[in-house]
């Protein structure tokens, strides 16, 4: 009986009309050129994302981008002896979008998160890198 129900669920799942949402065929634009300035860590993630749209042959609109990024890390709480307990990590990305050398839009993205301090500075740096990647992923 359990096998029949499992097989029935599998067959119904295949017929649900599932489509890949983040497929390049769904986008009708191409990123021709981009300039990145600011924080190198953020720019590496942005470049990886922008490159996905450079070879979109089914595009009717072609954009050029200029990006400026920065990371701001601040202390949000300390204990009575002055040891840091928590941080705030804020990522700011300014993006200028051009079409045919005409400025279409200036967009500013601002994402932030709070996180606790850990004893190991290596683990803290690794965790911050993961947070930066998560905050810059689109």
Give the fold, CATH level 3, of 29-136.
Answer: Double Stranded RNA Binding Domain (3.30.160)
Could you report the per-residue pLDDT of 29-75, keeping only the tens digit for each? 888 889 999 999 899 988 888 888 888 777 778 889 999 999 999 99
What predicted TM-score, i.e. pTM, was given to this entire model? 0.72
Judge whether residue 117 has pLDDT over 70.
yes
Q: Phi and psi dihedrals of 52, rounded to 5?
A: -60, -30
Residue keyed to tokens 């500013």: 108
Tell whether the model's pLDDT for residue 77 goes beyond 90. yes
For residue 118, the model assigns a pLDDT of: 92
| Closest-CA residue to 64 (of 91, 40, 35, 87) | 35
Backbone angles phi, psi at 83, to 5 degrees: -75, 140
Assigned token pair, 49: 């994302």
pLDDT at 31: 85
What gap in Å lies between CA 91 and CA 41, rounded to an integer?
Answer: 11
């Amino acid at each position: 009986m359990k096998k029949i129900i499992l097989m029935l669920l599998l067959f119904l799942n295949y017929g649900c009309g599932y489509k890949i949402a983040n497929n390049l065929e769904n986008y009708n634009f191409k990123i021709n050129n981009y300039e990145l300035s600011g924080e190198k860590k953020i720019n590496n993630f942005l470049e990886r994302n922008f490159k996905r749209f450079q070879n979109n042959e089914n595009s009717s609109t072609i954009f050029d981008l200029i990006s400026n990024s920065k990371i701001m890390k601040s202390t949000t709480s300390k204990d009575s002896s002055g040891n840091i307990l928590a941080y705030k990590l804020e990522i700011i990305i300014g993006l200028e979008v051009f079409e045919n050398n005409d400025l279409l839009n200036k967009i500013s993205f601002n994402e932030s998160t709070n996180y606790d301090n850990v004893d190991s500075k290596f683990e803290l740096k690794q965790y911050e890198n993961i947070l930066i990647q998560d905050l810059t992923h689109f």
